[in-house]
């Protein structure tokens, strides 16, 4: 995992099928959207947008 810019992060999943990567992204998104941060007397919920790119090695 690495920070790209500002609030953007990248996670590289090596030797992972598209289906496994999609499953991981779905679980991560669900975990994020089900979380909240306590701030004073308030509970702040947040979300994330995600994309998935698959690369194949050249033959």
Nearest residue to 35 via CA among 25, 46, 24: 46
Residue 58 pLDDT > 80, yes or no?
A: no
Q: What is the pLDDT of residue 59?
A: 57
Tens of pLDDT along 10-40? 888 988 999 999 999 999 999 999 999 999 9
d(CA 48, CA 59): 35
Any alpha helices (H) in 1-59, and if so which ranges?
A: 18-33
Asked if 45 and 34 touch (Cβ cutoff 8 Å), the reply is: no
Q: Show me where the domains of the chain are located.
A: 2-35
Nearest residue to 53 via CA among 29, 6, 21, 23: 21
């Amino acid at each position: 995992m690495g920070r790209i810019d500002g609030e953007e992060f990248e996670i590289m999943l090596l030797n992972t099928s598209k289906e496994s990567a999609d499953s991981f992204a779905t679980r991560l998104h669900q975990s994020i959207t089900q979380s909240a941060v306590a701030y004073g007397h308030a509970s702040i919920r947040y979300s994330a947008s995600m994309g998935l790119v698959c690369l194949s090695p050249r033959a």
